[in-house]
Amino acid sequence: MVLPSPKSKYIIVRDQTFVSPSYPRYYPFVNDHGKGAKVWDIDGNRFLDFAAGIAVSSTGYSHPKVVKAIQAQAEKFIHISSSSDYNYPLWVKMAEQLD
**Contact assessment for residue 40 and residue 32, using Cβ atoms and an 8 Å cutoff:** yes
Give the residue extent of every domain in the chain.
6-98
Lowest-pLDDT range of 5-9, 51-55, 57-61, 89-93: 51-55
Collapsing DSSP to helix, strand or coil, 11 comes out as helix
The arrangement of secondary structure in 6-98, i.e. its CATH architecture, is Alpha-Beta Complex (3.90)
Q: What does the pLDDT read at residue 43? A: 96
Question: What pTM did the predictor assign?
Answer: 0.67
User: What percent of the chain lies above the pLDDT cut of 70?
Assistant: 90
Give the single-character DSSP code of 26. -
Reply yes or no on whether the pLDDT at 94 is more than 80: yes
Q: What is the rounded radius of gyration, in angstroms, for the C-alpha atoms of the chain?
A: 18
Q: How far apart are CA 39 and CA 54, in angstroms?
A: 15
Structure confidence by residue, pLDDT tens digits, 44-83: 999 998 876 776 677 888 889 989 999 998 998 887 765 5
- Picking from 11, 62, 60, 58, the residue whose alpha carbon sits closest to that of residue 27 is 11
Q: What does the pLDDT read at residue 56? A: 67
